[in-house]
Chains A and B, each alone.
Chain A
Amino acid sequence: MAVDDLSFTAEPGEVTGFVGPNGAGKSTTMRMILGLDAPDRGEALIGGHPYRTLRNPLCEVGALLDASAIHPGRRAHDHLLWMAHYNGLPKSRVGQVIEQVGLGSAARRRAGGYSLGMRQRLGIAAALLGDPPVLMFDEPVNGLDPEGIRWIRGLLRSLAAEGRTVFVSSHLMGELEGTADHLLVVGRGRLIADTTVRELLARASGEQIVLRTPARSEAMTLLANAGATVAATDRDTITVRGIAPDRIAAVLSAGGLTFSELSQHRATLEEAYMELTRDEVEFNAPTVGGTR
């Protein structure tokens, strides 16, 4: 089972990030929204309607699923043209979206000769073709060069700023840092978190305090006795939870121990995500030595 009982809502005017490890069910979820895969139970609605009933669906939802899903022998322009015809869109839209994604000079070339980054741009052009209020991008950053990554981040932000619902999946949280307003974290087909970026960071950072001391084991004993949860993270580093920094300093001074660093830990989005999905990664590498 790829996806199990996954419910969420993506809001207009926001970039909603959809993250999870590979195999978490992100693509399957998107395919179900687009009516390509049928859920055993339940439904996916776009503006209250199943995708299947949409008359000109490209004008309701634009989607980039798989950038390679194009006929290699067809020119990019013609690929967009048949899609436009399918939904009764004017031919002029094709030229507009080609310019919008920066493929103008390559539009008359056959798609088989495109690099992965160009295919991503073509896929994005296809999603934008119907000028839809809802956009879904599955791993849009794949294959893009740094300039392309910057471009797509700006595009996602501006699409949201226009009031559209932008739904972006990624297996790398860092890709969404600074782009997504809202985050949906999935693992093994289940929703693990439905939150904002700020909340997620705060939660991951928690009350964790990093302590660097040459007398690691003595410090751990003292702090544990004082009621803290401690974990050794390095030869001379401990993370401490459950008690305040000034109390830690007091306990250590009372025990006559010295320390070189006592700081509030600030998690990155990547760490927060790792924390959340640690148990959800389907193929975990076996842990070698050390404590967790």
Chain B
Amino acid sequence: MSARDGFGQVLRGEWTKLVTVRSTVWCLFLTVGLTILLSIIGAQGSSTNVGDNAERLLEDRFHFMHQPLDGDGTITARVVRQEDTGDWAKAGIMIKQSTEPRTPYVAMLVTPGHGVRFQADFSTDVAAGAGGTPAWLRLTRSGTTITGFTSPDGAAWRQVGTAELAGLPRTAEVGMFAATPASGTRVIRRGGSTTSSPDYEPSTATFDSVRLAPAAGGPAGAWQSDAIGGGVEFADGTTLVGEASESGGVFTVTGTGDIREVPFTERGDDDIVRNALGGVYLGMIAAAVLGVLYVTSEYKTGMIRTTLTASPRRGRVLVAKALLLGTVTFACGLVASLASLLGARPIQRDRGFVPPFYPDPSLTSGTVLRAVFGTAAFLALMALLGLGLGAVIRRTAGAVVAVLALAVVPGIASSLLPVEGEKWLQRLTPLAGLAMQQTRERWDNWVSPWPGFAVACAYVALALAAAVLLIRRRDTA
């Protein structure tokens, strides 16, 4: 007796059941239709003005302990220690046209994650090999040409890079600086309205052996401390300004911010793929109801007895139902997510989400494919969650309430809760499966794609296991 033969028969019978009742076919249409509809509506309701400014955007924010340097000269310093607040935290020496932000500069610097570097004018970046602190750094000005050096011991110097700063005035500012890029996002939520700003953790660096040649006339008091770019301001209204001090030839500089050209793709923070697939929040309701109805309609009418008379191996019946439902909703979900993505994209472009700020998603990109297939898989999981809960509860109303409470209510509640509450709801409820839609770093990516998907799968596995266990043990009367 081959069990597989029998299983194929049950599958075929379940397919006949699924497609010969209007309500289940309608639910499938609704799953697809509502997903696309809400995705389109969501795209129409979105907007950005990121494309209004097509100029380069320069970020120039750091703390600078500096003094003027008249004509040609050299600055040498040793970075004794740098606080590791991120791979791209920067500490080093700089020659800059003035203390105005976004003016030309040349810097030799160390980073915790990317070694010693020579950088100039927001575009030049030369790596000088690995090497943490302490690090010897030197910059030499000759006319408008500035050359950077590094040394392991302060004796043997190696040239790293050279840059030409056209129009550099005779007197430039020279000194030590510290900066650290945003470490995350600070989110403030008041009454359901959310504002976010980059969050910074200031980085402190200490320098010694600072030599300026020709030596400035005055004493050390000639050094000035300035927050270039004026510190950072957070969404909650607080500000963070760096500081610098000198004591016995040791300089301590604490700063936040970064010195770079902001890439176009970082100038807006929307995840347009995820937004284009946002209709899943509506489609998932139809999918879950489909899963519930697919099994509770049998209990409601008593047809389950006919089913189990036609195939008394009950676990196998449920497995066949799950396999069929999962496959069918996945296929429909794929149609829905592809149509959503392709349908929403032109609207998004009309609303300002244009290249190069928002490049068109490519269906050959791994993350985009993961989002598209992940959305379809999520819809299938919701249908299976409905199936499992429906088989356990056996009443349509009760099972619909249960599945909505588990999978839909957290989505609504999470935008009203404090951010900490949202974080855990998105991590621990079946909604975690929607992490598959992420295609870029964002502050509200509370869980990574695959772990989130695993959480959703775990709920479904639990519900189906309980359903199989109970259908085997319970009388069907």
> What residues make up the interface of A, taking CB atoms closer than 8 Å to B?
28, 31, 34-38, 51-52, 54-58, 63, 65-66, 68-75, 78-79, 81-88, 126
Binds A, one of B3-11, B230-238, B429-437: B3-11
Which A residues are CB-close (under 8 A) to B309?
34-36, 57-58, 63, 65
Which 4 residue pairs across A and B have the least CB separation, nearest first?
A69-B302, A78-B20, A85-B13, A86-B13
| Contact of B99 with A by CB under 8 A | no
Bound Cα distance A85, B9 (Å): 6
Q: Which residue of A lies closest to B473 (CB)?
A: A38
Q: With A65-B305, A88-B5 as given contacts, are A54 and B312 in contact (CB-CB < 8 Å)?
A: yes
Q: With A72-B301, A73-B21, A86-B311 as given contacts, are A126 and B306 in contact (CB-CB < 8 Å)?
A: yes
28 intermolecular pairs with C-beta atoms under 8 Å apart:
A31-B305, A35-B309, A36-B305, A36-B308, A36-B476, A36-B477, A38-B475, A56-B6, A57-B310, A57-B312, A65-B305, A66-B302, A68-B302, A69-B306, A70-B306, A71-B298, A71-B303, A73-B21, A74-B17, A74-B21, A79-B20, A81-B20, A82-B17, A82-B20, A84-B13, A86-B13, A86-B311, A88-B9
| Contact of B208 with A by CB under 8 A | no
Which B residues are CB-close (under 8 A) to A126?
306
Interface string of B286-316 (1 = CB under 8 A from A): 0000000000011001110111111111000
The answer to whether A55 touches B303 (Cβ under 8 A) is no
Interface centre among A36, A54, A66, A82 (most CB of B within 10 A): A82
Which B residues are CB-close (under 8 A) to A36?
305, 308-309, 475-477
Bound Cα distance A85, B15 (Å): 9
What total count of A-B pairs have CB within 8 Å? 97
The answer to whether B312 touches A52 (Cβ under 8 A) is yes
Which A residues are CB-close (under 8 A) to B298?
71
Bound Cα distance A183, B366 (Å): 72
Q: Mostly helix, strand, loop or mixed at chain B's interface? A: helix
A-contacting residues, B1-47, CB 8 Å:
1, 5-6, 9-10, 12-17, 20-23
Which B residues are CB-close (under 8 A) to A88?
5, 9
Bound Cα distance A65, B337 (Å): 44
Query: Assuming A35-B308, A37-B475, A52-B313, what are 15 further A-B pairs, CB within 8 angstroms?
Result: A34-B312, A36-B475, A56-B9, A57-B309, A57-B311, A65-B309, A69-B302, A69-B306, A71-B303, A78-B16, A81-B16, A82-B16, A82-B17, A84-B13, A85-B16
The answer to whether A37 touches B5 (Cβ under 8 A) is no
Bound Cα distance A86, B17 (Å): 10
Bound Cα distance A69, B304 (Å): 8
Interface centre among A74, A75, A126 (most CB of B within 10 A): A74
Bound Cα distance A31, B308 (Å): 11
CB distance from A69 to the nearest CB of B (A): 3
Bound Cα distance A58, B310 (Å): 6
CB distance from A71 to the nearest CB of B (A): 5
CB distance from A85 to the nearest CB of B (A): 4
Bound Cα distance A35, B13 (Å): 20
CB distance from B167 to the nearest CB of A (A): 80
CB distance from A118 to the nearest CB of B (A): 16
Bound Cα distance A226, B309 (Å): 60
Which B residues are CB-close (under 8 A) to A31?
305, 475-477
Bound Cα distance A31, B474 (Å): 13
Which A residues are CB-close (under 8 A) to B5?
88
Which B residues are CB-close (under 8 A) to A55?
1, 6
Which of B306, B307, B312 is A35 in contact with, Cβ under 8 Å?
Answer: B312
Q: Which residue of A lies closest to B302 (CB)?
A: A69
Which A residues are CB-close (under 8 A) to B301?
68-72
